[in-house]
Structure 1
Amino acid sequence: MPIDFKVINQNIAHIVINRPERLNALDVEHERALAAAWKRFNTDSGLKVAILTGSGERAFCTGADILDYIPHRRRIAESQGEQGTISFGGLTAIRDVMKPTIAAIDGFCVAGGLELALACDIRIATPDARFGLPEVRWGIIPGGGGTQRLGKIVGLGVAMKMILTGNEISADAALNCGLVTDLVEKSELENTAIAIADRIVKNGPLAVVAARQALFASFELPMEQGLAKEAELQRHLLLTDDAAEGVAAFSEKRHPKYQGC
């Protein structure tokens, strides 16, 4: 299969871009298959967290398969005119996926591959990972959310340097600027991603989704509106059975049994 999809521990989706012979670059067929995988994750209520990674030892994803995908996007641009945004692989448009996502990165994570990683909520990597947005070298820009997300994560100066030069940065540099949160050895990459996902799954599912929404609001709204959004989400949570169960479990010194209601 071009995109592997398996379920781990009942609640975790493991999505693997399986095209190592092309450094996991996505042509039109594989880009659509990845979008279908995200739709499956999004609509399956039993799946709480997704891990995205690439097959092989050389690349997480090197983005679009230029000779196939860019002409496809050009035809879309011609037909849409000024309308429409780009959702690369069904992940990079606003709110494509409504549940937590983790990118487990080894090797090259560049162009659209980095944009996929930027669209994930948490990014971990190996020391061999490399990161870059080289699109200006090809006469285009990082149009799958790269210009919008990178600066919010690493700061405007680092983002400007990466995007305007097209140069790559190392895993250590990515850790230092906050692009990734953890560096782990290759042998531990999958286990570390699963451990993070497992920890998220154990938390109140409604609270996880609400906390994610509140964090996005902190980047998208002025402070006053963001605080109002946070308060609104908190009010809804306080009236749920899960919130009552969380307090009861804490009082009784036991693990909570959340029902998502």
Structure 2
Amino acid sequence: MPIDVRCEGAVAVITIDRPEARNSLDPEHNAALGRAVAEFEADDGLRVAVLTGAGDEVFSAGADLKKLIPAYRDAVRAGEEPAWNFGGFTATPREKPMIAAINGHALAGGLEMALACDIRLASPNATLGLAETKWAIIPGAGGTVRLPRAVPLGLAMEMILTGDPIDAAEAHRVGLVNRIVPLPELRAEAVALAQRIAGRGPLAVRAARASVLEGLGTDHDAAMAGEFRRFLEVMRTDDAVEGATAFAEKRAPVYKGR
């Protein structure tokens, strides 16, 4: 299968399965990954996704420079302006959290996909970079937008303008990845983290995620107002009643997403 999807309870593990091409995305894999993420978003039984790559060397090398990029470039040079929604999700609004389990090199569009995830874990052998200027193009799937929001501006500029990657240790030091996990344990730890999040109130998780992302793009007062609006919305849910009731009764809550 071009994109492997396996469900572990309320967690979807989405694997880019093209190791012979460094898990890069050609048109087929790009479309398939988009479908996988869309199906995860639409499935009420799934609450969190883990995105990773097949093998133990590469998360994803980004767009296939022999197939996807030439086809897109030719369309643009012919006067078209086709959408560039890399991976089928980097330009699509999402409601549910995704975790990137970076099992090796995350380069160009590979890093852009990881940046579009909400949490990033990396193996020690990972490198992270936006290599596009080496090929006389620029990041177009959120790289110039999300990377400066994730790391200091000077470092983001250096990475984007030179195209040079940083290693996992540096990525962890600057906060680009949450933590470094030994490669044999990476997938399991990412799934365990996803399951912890999936065990929280699903409407609260989505509302909190939306509040954080919305707040990044607005001033303080508007961000506070947006948070309060979502706070009230969540307070009105049955899950909010269940959470407090379960705490008082000293039992695990049973959330139903309503």
TM-score range, shorter chain: over 0.9
Match of 1:174 among 156, 171, 174: 171
Structure 1 residue ranges without an equivalent (≥5): none
Equivalent position of 2:33 in the other structure: 34
Cα-to-partner distance string for 1:59-111 (whole Å, 9 max, x where unaligned): 00000111211122224435675x6652101121041x320100001111100
Tell me, in whole angstroms, the C-alpha distance in 2 between the residues paired with 1:169 and 1:28.
28
Q: Show the counterpart of 1:241.
A: 238
Q: Name the SS of the counterpart of 1:123 in structure 2.
A: strand
Alpha-carbon distance change, 144 to 164 in structure 1, aligned in 2, over 3 angstroms: same
Secondary structure of the residue that 1:66 maps to in structure 2? coil
Aligned to 1:74: 73
The answer to whether the 8 Å contact 1:12/1:197 transfers is yes
The answer for the alignment partner of 2:89 in structure 1 is: 91
Partners of 1:79 and 1:5 in 2: CA distance: 36
**Could you tell me how far apart the structure 1 residues matched to 2:33 and 2:75 are?**
19
Q: Residue 213 of structure 2: which of 211, 216, 219 is its match?
A: 216
Map 1:103-182 → 2, pairs under 5 A: 103-182=100-179
* Superimposed CA distance per residue, residues 20-54 of structure 1 (whole angstroms, 9 cap, x where no aligned partner): 01110111111111111111111111110000000
Aligned partners of 1:155 and 1:146: how far apart in 2?
A: 14
Deviation string 1:131-185 (CA, Å, 9 cap, x unpaired) is 1101011111011110000000112111001001111101000001111001010
CA distance in structure 2 between the partners assigned to 1:234 and 1:45 by the alignment = 22
The aligned amino acid for 2:201 is G
Identical-residue share of aligned pairs (%): 48
**Deviation sequence 1:204-253 (CA, Å, 0-9, x none):** 00000000000001211111111111000001111111111111111122
Q: What is the TM-score with the length of structure 2 in the denominator?
A: 0.97
Instruction: Note if contact 1:16-1:54 (Cα within 8 Å) is conserved in structure 2.
Output: yes
Q: 1:126 touches 1:171 (CA, 8 Å); kept in 2?
A: yes
1:253 is aligned to 2:239 = no
Match of 2:44 in 1: 45
Contact 1:85 1:93 in 2 (8 A): no
Quick one: distance in 2 between partners of 1:128 and 1:153? 20
Task: Give the counterpart letter for 1:110 in structure 2.
Answer: L
SS in 2 for 1:215: helix
Give the alignment's TM-score, normalised by structure 1: 0.96
Letter in 2 for 1:74: R
C-alpha RMSD of matched pairs (Å): 1.3
- 1:6 and 1:233 map into 2 onto residues whose CA distance is 32
Q: Structure 1's 80 and 251: CA in aligned 2 closer, same or farther, altered over 3 A?
A: farther
Partners of 2:215 and 2:226 within 8 A in 1: no
Letter in 2 for 1:93: A
